[in-house]
């Protein structure tokens, strides 16, 4: 009964609106949250950048004193305003330097989005494999049920022993429990996938857009695009920093004041200009940036070598997985068309026991489950490869 209900649910699902992989990827909850978080972090970094590169606020000073002198005495007071101004494009260069570093950081954060996409793609493919396996297992169960029905009639006419019928009944019940278990696993894998989206859990999944199982994967030309773009921005940031510290004059401070000294009004205007040539600060900053540029280049080179090694290792594993899947499929085909066919024919003619027949069937189910696990391993490796390669496009 449970299998019948599961079958009805499956049929109902197949007739419902079926969701494609693209629709699932476009309606993910966690990805939307991650995207918004990255966007908010970008705004936070930008405003922090603007804050850090602003000049100090206008300074207001006021003083009051009393003077006592021969023949004259009274209060004296003074007020003054001072403000620092950055010369030329110093401020814009500082903002650009920080902004490029911030953009590089945000680009690297997008790796989480790529990883999440590929995680969903893997879950989608795992579900589709489960569904295909359940469909095949359902067909095998239906065939066995027909055989059991025939043997049940044969038992009524004393054509087979009761022990044989009991063994067949035991196997039918075992298959029913297994099928029910596989249905539950299939439904669980679907709910696990859709729970990460805003989509209705009652919707069916298309599975018409699964990636093919092939031996050789040709990656897109924009492999490692995020890492390379982030690296380029960091290098450009150091170049902007070198331009910034090459300036001879960086800032000027202007102050204006008024002082009342007894009976005298005094007005002042002061200009303060830092003389960079009197300090080695700018030279040290430039030296630091040049060494930083070299360090960034070397770190990127090491990172790219490591990523390329991982990609080649994953591609090699995919190739081995493909060969293993092909070999498993050939083994199953050979087993079904030779040994299993011989055992079944022998059993039909009463030349072999029911135990031999059941063992041969169970062997087939075992081979099919091994194939399922190999296929699941293939897709897990495939999407790990896409994440490592920083593949962003939705297929």
Mean pLDDT, residues 233-245: 94
Per residue in 283-316, pLDDT (tens digit) is 899 999 999 999 999 999 999 999 999 999 999 9
| Of the candidates 57, 87, 82, 56, the residue with the CA atom closest to the CA atom of residue 255 | 82
Q: Which two tokens stand for residue 355?
A: 């135990």
Does residue 229 sit within a domain?
Answer: yes
Give the domain CATH number at 131: 1.20.1600.10
Contact 13, 204 (CB under 8 A): yes
- Cα 76 to the chain's mean position, in Å? 70
In a domain, 145, yes or no: yes
- In the chain, the number of structural domains is 1
Of 315, 323, 325, 313, the closest CA to residue 376 belongs to 325
Domain that holds residue 299: 2-56+92-247+283-388
pLDDT (0 to 100) of residue 2: 43
Q: Which residues pair with 84 in a beta bridge?
A: 253
Q: Does residue 80 form part of some domain?
A: no
**Structural contact between residues 119 and 383, judged by C-beta atoms closer than 8 angstroms:** yes
Is there a contact between 63 and 70 (Cβ–Cβ < 8 Å)?
no
Within a domain: residue 316?
A: yes
- What would the pLDDT profile of 191-224 be if each residue is shown by its tens digit? 999 999 988 888 899 999 999 999 988 887 779 9
> Residue 97 pLDDT more than 80?
yes
Residue 351: its pLDDT value, please? Answer: 84
Backbone angles phi, psi at 83, to 5 degrees: -150, 135
Token look-up 């009004």 returns 265
What does the pLDDT average to over 360-385? 96
Adjacent-strand bridge partners of 254: 83, 271
Residues whose CB falls within 8 Å of the CB of residue 18, separated by 6 or more in sequence, listed in order: 203, 204, 205, 206, 208
* β-bridge partners, 76: 65
**In this structure, is residue 74 part of a structural domain?**
no
pLDDT-derived band at 59, boundaries 50, 70, 90: confident
Give which of 246, 240, 243 is closest to 281, Cα–Cα.
246
The answer to whether the beta carbons of residues 394 and 117 sit under 8 Å apart is yes
CB 69 within 8 A of CB 94: no
Q: Report the percent of the chain where pLDDT is more than 90.
A: 63
Question: Which of the listed ranges 12-16, 48-52, 87-91, 376-380 does the model predict with the highest average pLDDT?
Answer: 376-380
Tell me, yes or no, whether 153 lies in a domain: yes
Has residue 79 been placed in a domain?
no
Contacts of 333 (CB under 8 A, 6+ apart): none
CA-to-CA distance for 325 and 363, rounded, in angstroms?
17
* Residue 48 placed within a domain: yes
User: pLDDT (tens digit, 9 = 90+) per residue, 315-358?
Assistant: 999 999 999 999 999 999 999 999 998 998 898 888 888 889 89
């Amino acid at each position: 009964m449970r299998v019948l209900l599961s079958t009805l649910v499956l049929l109902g699902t197949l007739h419902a609106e079926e969701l494609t992989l693209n629709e699932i990827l476009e309606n993910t909850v966690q990805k939307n949250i991650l995207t918004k978080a990255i966007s908010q972090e970008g705004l936070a970094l930008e405003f922090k950048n603007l804050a850090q590169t602003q000049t100090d606020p206008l300074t207001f000073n006021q003083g009051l004193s009393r003077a006592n002198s021969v023949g004259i005495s009274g209060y004296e007071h003074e007020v003054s305003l001072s403000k620092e101004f950055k010369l030329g494009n110093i401020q814009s260069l500082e903002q650009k330097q920080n902004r490029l570093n911030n953009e590089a950081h945000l680009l690297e954060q997008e790796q989480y989005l790529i990883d999440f996409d590929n995680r969903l793609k893997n879950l989608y493919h795992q579900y589709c494999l489960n569904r295909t396996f359940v469909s095949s297992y359902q067909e095998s169960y239906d065939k066995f049920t027909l055989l059991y029905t025939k043997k049940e009639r044969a038992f009524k006419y004393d054509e087979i022993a009761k022990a044989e019928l009991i063994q067949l009944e035991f196997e039918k019940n075992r298959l029913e429990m297994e099928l029910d278990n596989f249905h539950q696993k299939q439904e669980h894998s679907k709910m696990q996938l859709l729970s990460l989206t805003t989509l209705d859990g009652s919707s069916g999944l298309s599975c018409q857009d699964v990636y093919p199982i092939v031996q050789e994967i040709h990656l897109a030309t924009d492999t490692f695009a995020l890492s390379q773009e982030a690296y380029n921005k960091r290098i450009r940031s150091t170049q902007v920093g070198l331009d910034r510290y090459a300036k001879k004059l960086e800032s000027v401070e202007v102050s204006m004041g008024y002082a009342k000294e007894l009976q005298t009004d005094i007005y002042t205007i002061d200009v303060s200009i830092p003389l960079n040539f009197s300090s080695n600060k700018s030279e040290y900053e430039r030296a630091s940036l040049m060494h930083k540029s070299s360090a960034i280049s070397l770190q990127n080179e090491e990172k790219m070598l490591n990523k390329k090694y991982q990609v080649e290792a994953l591609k090699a594993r995919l190739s081995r997985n493909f060969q293993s899947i092909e070999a498993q499929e050939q083994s199953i085909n050979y087993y079904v068309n030779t040994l299993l066919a011989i055992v079944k024919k022998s059993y039909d003619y009463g030349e072999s026991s029911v135990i031999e027949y059941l063992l041969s069937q169970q062997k087939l189910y075992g081979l099919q489950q091994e194939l399922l696990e190999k296929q699941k391993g293939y897709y897990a490796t495939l999407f790990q490869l896409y994440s490592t390669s920083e593949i962003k496009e939705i297929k």
